[in-house]
Structure 1
Amino acid sequence: MMEAQINKDERIELRVSSTDKRIFKRAQKLSGDKSFSSFIVRVVKKQAEKIVAKNDRIIATEKDREIFFDAVFSNSKPNENLIEAAKRYKSKIS
């Protein structure tokens, strides 16, 4: 499958130990990536996407938890829709 050409105008520079670089190069060769850069970008992007997805799930979970506990433990009265739903439910189970 042919990937679309993407304009790559950003650059990242980093320093690593020679041991780390040897491991990265070996992994690149074993993975079949054609270039060292494509290997690094692919691996880092995959890991970054996992981290972001996990964070997004945690934030959504925290929001859900907050909404739930606010609804359960707040002193607010039920609205008209909830009152009507309760009446319908009670009439069906009686």
Structure 2
Amino acid sequence: MPQYIVTYDVKKPHHSAVKNTLLENGFRDYINAPSGKNRQLPNTTLAIDAMSTKDAKALFLKCVTKVASGILERFILLSGETYSIRSEEVDGDDEID
């Protein structure tokens, strides 16, 4: 199943509630790097496996509005097929092209 990456901003004080709801519904705060290790994503960036961008977006919006309506300021959802990630927990970068 394809992996999608979403990064978002929500109004305060809803960040923790939104992130916890997303994590409880299949979103992850890490990705699997080519090295086989998990790489932590930035604070308001999550990954999800979904059949399509449309499915990933629908689940994301459902989770956010479950917390409260009108709290989402912006988001971008992208296919996670190609990426470059750098994390303080590893030396160097992991890339998939």
What TM bracket, shorter-length normalisation? under 0.3
Q: Which has the larger radius of gyration?
A: 1
Report which of the two has the higher share of strand. Answer: 2
TM value normalised by structure 2 = 0.24
TM value normalised by structure 1 = 0.25
Query: Per chain length, whose mean CA-contact separation is higher, i.e. which structure has more relative contact order (CA < 8 Å, sep 6+)?
Result: 2
Report which of the two has the higher share of helix. Answer: 1
